[in-house]
Structure 1
Amino acid sequence: MLVEAGELVSGYRSGAVSPVEATQTALDAIERYDEQVNAFVLVDAEGALAAAKESEARWHSGEPLGPGDGVPTSIKDALWTKGWPTLRGSTMIDEAGPWSEDAPAVARLRETGAVIVGKTTTPEYSWKGVTDSHKYGATGNPWNPSKTPGGSSGGSATAVALGMGTWSVGTDGGGSVRIPAAFTGTVALKPTYGLIPLFPPSAFGTLSHAGPMTRTVRDAAALLDIITGFDARDWSSMPTPTTSFLDGIDDGVADLRIAFSSDLDFVDNDPEVEELVRAAVGVLAAAGAEVTEIDPGFTDPIDAFNVLWWSGAAKVLEAYTVDDRVDPGLRRVAAIGSAYSASDFLDATAARMELGLLMGRFHRKYDVLLTPTLPITAFPIGQDVPDGSESPDWTSWTPYTYPFNLTQQPALSVPCGFTKAGLPVGLQIVGARHADALTLRVGRAYEAATDWHQRTPTLEAR
């Protein structure tokens, strides 16, 4: 049964439900399912229950720490957590630490009293669009564990889908919260860059964002309220928002100008994906939006993105002796990245700036842009690319996500249906920079008119 964070908090306030009960439910789901899907690298049941009891006492006394007090939450193992190792799916990081500091998003969650149940899987250094590593093995899709959940925040998406906590926080450098959201039938937002501060900084630079991963758009907005805010450790951190992202989220789309591109004029979609996304666009048109089918007018920026991303991969491995303990794909792209020149990097940055200018002008006319989140559905576990791919690169099958890391725009993935094989499909909603609230509002309007977000995996316990 789907229970939103807001419903939990209302129950805590009235005494109808306890943070201890909610946390135990999340821990029971981990116990029941994680052996099949391998979503967690660390679970602290004892610590989570102790934190839940403290939250329960605060609610009983009428003094909760904040709107997330007692909400069970997981953290992708790419974000620092005080007292717990952050190994990033790598065998090269010293587990001994010291682990003396929280990442900004984790610190904000602790300040509001959220119950952090554990840390979720990621490929090595979050470098690709699926979730497997030499360190922890492969993570399975909650709808079919023989398929990938996508990545790199695949553990977080799988955890949320299976009720292993209400919220999770992932990271997204080229689609890493939206790819697994689409493959698992969950919700994820890559917000405007800088809205959620990051520390330590990513080797992939300003492509990398943190983002909320949830079952509903309202929950994504509620979690975003908590994990945003200025942090002096991040030089690009934006000022703390002065209004809630829940304000106006139910205002609908009747006054909005929505652009829809089924393929950005350079993508081939699976026919079932195309059909379901077009139907989703029709739902928003029926809700009163003025929908125009139009391409934004850019060519595939994959070359520019790969220069920046592969350069980051080279930087990741720079400090280590690289051997067969490292993901072979990461080794391959790092070798490519190490050969790029400063001029190559600046050319890619210039292409990025041109794309940002184009999209800035596009959003003068259109409030949001709709696309598929991905052109395909989940493929077999343990592969970087689908069967029959002519490219070994994960960017070859994620053409709708990485362009908007280049531009730093907010991009939201919401579930919009299932194929005949029972695999989820995602609709991507892209807003202008700083239009995160509007992007969430469009997603909520679609969610309110459909029931895809209420569907839960029927994975049987072993």
Structure 2
Amino acid sequence: MSDFRSEAVFATAAAVRAKQRSAREATEQALRTIEALNPTYNAFTVIDADGALAQADDIDRRLAAGDDVGPLAGVPLGVKDLEDAAGFTTSKGSAGFAGQPASERDSVHVARLRAAGCVVIGKTNAPEFGLRAETDNPTFGITRNPWDATRTPGGSSGGSSAAVSAGMVPLATASDGGGSIRIPSAVTGLTGLKPTQGMVPAADPGPVGWGELSTRGPMARRAVDLAAALDVVVGPDSRDLRSLPVPPTSFADAVARPTRPGRIAWSPTLGFATVDKAVADVCAAAVERMAADGVEVTEVPTVFAEDPGVALGVLVSAYTRRTVEPFRGTPVWDQLDPLVMVAAELSRATAKDPMAIIAAEDACHRANLELQAVLDGVDVLICPVTMALPPACENKVGVDAVAAMLGGALAGDAVADLGLDDPAGFLANLYAREPLNIPIGTVNGQPVAVWHGMTQGFNMTRSPVGTVCAGFADGLPVGIQVVGRRLDDVHIVSILAYLEQLLDTDRLAPV
């Protein structure tokens, strides 16, 4: 079977533009690969083969007529099921939206990729409302990791990461409100970028997802592929208050000249995380390779004085409640992912304290001050993406473990009104079904409900953050984060290209 993973995205498009292959042939290749692999990995929730072939045929006709068909002509594209693509329902992984009419318009992100010549193949799976770091929802089921089908491909962009890692499509859309580009990229062996918020505009008619925390961006195998997509999706849109100008240097130029950083800060735990030894060893070895190549390394034990996940959880719970509250008292409510219900109820509790959201926003400001102090005098910060290897899909954690996980955040009079001072009892009453839908991770032999946890702080600081494969543990990819200053996206991608060359970890998932 021909494999998109053997050539760069721009090479696929160049072959179409040069008429060495047709857009239809590239689309048919994607459809064949999806037909063969999707039953195993469940990356796509819906495919529109006829629509995709019609798009491809239109590109071929325009090309024959001498029209400009765009820099990504004929490149098959998967769209994460948290954003709109014309002709598809945006289900958000939820029964509450799965039956709604198909979207009549593309998101700005998808529209720009389509205008550049991409062929939209279908929608990729996501956890309900993008809430978790694993891709599994009650409506479309479990998405699996192409490196090991018993394990999660991460989330919330796990459908996109599985599709790209398995070679079903060379390019997909993604979003990141707490790690949802970086986590799935890391655990499926991809190079990824969480852009600075506003670099890729969002102009949806409804509320903007997770507000200031979230950003959209492409997902691809390598830095050169990301660059090809980023160059067509960045730039301002007056409908997005956050949108930013086009960077002065193109991403393609940046990856053509990989940049070795002069000085880096290296933080193995960010000051709060317990990292599994297998993951820690791979990340430390990558930093040692950088030092051997002449990069000056300063180890920083603490970046954040407190776990940013607590404040982020308050904000995300509020956004989640806004989305699901209309379903309260309807049959859909009982079909929600248990963690979605937990988030909604947690927000009801914190809403009784009018200062809770303000305190969480203040925590974002503190986190940014702490990060900028670390970045002072260095090019970037390097740290692990996750605390552990991706957990098995079927091992689920129960009410008691989730109660322990949430216990630190559930205290005080406001939560007592909802029974949240007894987390285990609250969870059991809220959703009388065990186990809850969270795979168990393992850190140094101990089961944990939070196996990720090292990405959220950089959503709070609105920083551009790349991830690249640092090496392998137990046959699985391990990623490191490359954290930069706001608006340093092009520089980050150039460093990712350097690290790809230095670390030489380009491997294909054994599908």
Which category describes the TM-score, using the shorter chain as reference length? over 0.9
Query: Relative to structure 1, is the Cα distance of residues 60 and 433 closer, same or farther in structure 2, using a 3 angstrom cutoff?
Result: same
Which residue number in structure 2 is paired with residue 457 of structure 1? 509
Q: Shift of the alpha carbon at 1:187?
A: 2.1
Structure 2: which amino acid aligns with 1:84? F
Checking the alignment, whether the CA contact within 8 Å between 1:273 and 1:376 is kept in structure 2 is: yes
Do structure 1's residue 10 and structure 2's residue 17 form an aligned pair?
Answer: no
Q: Shift of the alpha carbon at 1:98?
A: 5.5
Q: Within 2, Cα distance between the matches of 1:262 and 1:141?
A: 25
Checking the alignment, whether the CA contact within 8 Å between 1:23 and 1:165 is kept in structure 2 is: no
Give the counterpart of 1:212 among 218, 228, 231: 218
Query: Relative to structure 1, is the Cα distance of residues 165 and 64 closer, same or farther in structure 2, using a 3 angstrom cutoff?
Result: farther
Q: Which one has a bigger Cα radius of gyration?
A: 2
Q: Shift of the alpha carbon at 1:330?
A: 1.0
Q: Within 1, Cα distance between the matches of 2:454 and 2:17?
A: 41
CA displacement, residues 316-373 of structure 1 (integer Å, 9 cap, x when unaligned): 2122125321111110121011211330110110111111122233323111111111
Q: Shift of the alpha carbon at 1:397?
A: 2.4
Q: Within 2, Cα distance between the matches of 1:160 and 1:185?
A: 10
Cα RMSD between the aligned structures?
2.1
Which residue number in structure 1 is paired with residue 131 of structure 2? 127
Give the counterpart of 1:76 among 55, 65, 80: 80
Do structure 1's residue 266 and structure 2's residue 272 form an aligned pair?
Answer: yes
Which residue number in structure 2 is paired with residue 314 of structure 1? 321
Give the counterpart of 1:36 among 34, 40, 45: 40
Structure 2: which amino acid aligns with 1:156? S
Which residue number in structure 1 is paired with residue 384 of structure 2? 372
Do structure 1's residue 138 and structure 2's residue 142 form an aligned pair?
Answer: yes
Checking the alignment, whether the CA contact within 8 Å between 1:170 and 1:212 is kept in structure 2 is: yes
Checking the alignment, whether the CA contact within 8 Å between 1:76 and 1:122 is kept in structure 2 is: yes
Checking the alignment, whether the CA contact within 8 Å between 1:253 and 1:288 is kept in structure 2 is: no
CA displacement, residues 139-166 of structure 1 (integer Å, 9 cap, x when unaligned): 1111111111110110000000111111
Q: What is the SS of the residue equivalent to 1:10?
A: helix
Q: Within 1, Cα distance between the matches of 2:269 and 2:14?
A: 42
Checking the alignment, whether the CA contact within 8 Å between 1:262 and 1:274 is kept in structure 2 is: yes
Do structure 1's residue 187 and structure 2's residue 191 form an aligned pair?
Answer: yes
Do structure 1's residue 418 and structure 2's residue 422 form an aligned pair?
Answer: no
5+ residue gaps, structure 2 = 397-437
Which residue number in structure 2 is paired with residue 289 of structure 1? 295
Q: Within 2, Cα distance between the matches of 1:206 and 1:97?
A: 28
Checking the alignment, whether the CA contact within 8 Å between 2:381 and 2:484 is kept in structure 1 is: yes
Taking the TM superposition and a 5 Å limit, the aligned residue runs for 1:19-168 are: 19-93=23-97, 95-97=99-101, 99-168=103-172
- Bigger shift: 358-367 or 58-67? 58-67
Query: Relative to structure 1, is the Cα distance of residues 372 and 255 closer, same or farther in structure 2, using a 3 angstrom cutoff?
Result: closer
Which residue number in structure 1 is paired with residue 426 of structure 2? none
Which residue number in structure 1 is paired with residue 369 of structure 2? 357
Give the counterpart of 1:443 among 483, 486, 496: 496
Checking the alignment, whether the CA contact within 8 Å between 1:283 and 1:446 is kept in structure 2 is: no
Checking the alignment, whether the CA contact within 8 Å between 2:270 and 2:301 is kept in structure 1 is: yes
TM-score normalised according to structure 2 size: 0.85
Structure 2: which amino acid aligns with 1:431? G
- Bigger shift: 197-206 or 443-452? 197-206
Query: Relative to structure 1, is the Cα distance of residues 49 and 98 closer, same or farther in structure 2, using a 3 angstrom cutoff?
Result: closer
Structure 2: which amino acid aligns with 1:458? P
Q: Shift of the alpha carbon at 1:272?
A: 1.6
Q: Within 2, Cα distance between the matches of 1:393 and 1:276?
A: 20
Q: Shift of the alpha carbon at 1:285?
A: 2.9
Q: Shift of the alpha carbon at 1:239?
A: 2.4
5+ residue gaps, structure 1 = none
Query: Relative to structure 1, is the Cα distance of residues 303 and 344 closer, same or farther in structure 2, using a 3 angstrom cutoff?
Result: same
Which residue number in structure 1 is paired with residue 358 of structure 2? 346
Structure 1: which amino acid aligns with 2:322? K
Structure 1: which amino acid aligns with 2:315? L
Which residue number in structure 1 is paired with residue 461 of structure 2? 407
Structure 2: which amino acid aligns with 1:321? R
CA displacement, residues 16-73 of structure 1 (integer Å, 9 cap, x when unaligned): 3332222222111101100011111111112112212222334445533321121111
Which residue number in structure 1 is paired with residue 337 of structure 2? 327
TM-score normalised according to structure 1 size: 0.93
Q: Shift of the alpha carbon at 1:94?
A: 5.8
Query: Relative to structure 1, is the Cα distance of residues 438 and 241 closer, same or farther in structure 2, using a 3 angstrom cutoff?
Result: closer
Q: Within 2, Cα distance between the matches of 1:118 and 1:151?
A: 18
Q: Within 2, Cα distance between the matches of 1:39 and 1:289?
A: 38
Structure 1: which amino acid aligns with 2:290? L
Structure 2: which amino acid aligns with 1:125? F
Taking the TM superposition and a 5 Å limit, the aligned residue runs for 1:214-293 are: 214-254=220-260, 256-293=262-299
Q: Within 2, Cα distance between the matches of 1:393 and 1:62?
A: 58
Which residue number in structure 2 is paired with residue 304 of structure 1? 311
Give the counterpart of 2:174 among 145, 170, 177: 170
Structure 2: which amino acid aligns with 1:358? E
Query: Relative to structure 1, is the Cα distance of residues 211 and 423 closer, same or farther in structure 2, using a 3 angstrom cutoff?
Result: same
Q: Within 2, Cα distance between the matches of 1:252 and 1:39?
A: 32
Which residue number in structure 2 is paired with residue 397 of structure 1? 451
Structure 1: which amino acid aligns with 2:71? P
Q: Number of matched residues? A: 456
Q: Within 2, Cα distance between the matches of 1:60 and 1:415?
A: 40
Q: Within 1, Cα distance between the matches of 2:69 and 2:222?
A: 23
Q: Within 2, Cα distance between the matches of 1:337 and 1:123?
A: 19
Q: Within 2, Cα distance between the matches of 1:70 and 1:262?
A: 42
Query: Relative to structure 1, is the Cα distance of residues 170 and 405 closer, same or farther in structure 2, using a 3 angstrom cutoff?
Result: same
Structure 1: which amino acid aligns with 2:476? L
Q: Shift of the alpha carbon at 1:137?
A: 0.8
Which residue number in structure 1 is paired with residue 434 of structure 2? none
Query: Relative to structure 1, is the Cα distance of residues 437 and 146 closer, same or farther in structure 2, using a 3 angstrom cutoff?
Result: same
Q: What is the SS of the residue equivalent to 2:95?
A: coil
CA displacement, residues 210-255 of structure 1 (integer Å, 9 cap, x when unaligned): 1221110111121111111222322221123454112232433445
Q: Within 2, Cα distance between the matches of 1:160 and 1:288?
A: 33
Structure 1: which amino acid aligns with 2:75? V
Query: Relative to structure 1, is the Cα distance of residues 287 and 223 closer, same or farther in structure 2, using a 3 angstrom cutoff?
Result: farther
Q: What is the SS of the residue equivalent to 1:42?
A: strand
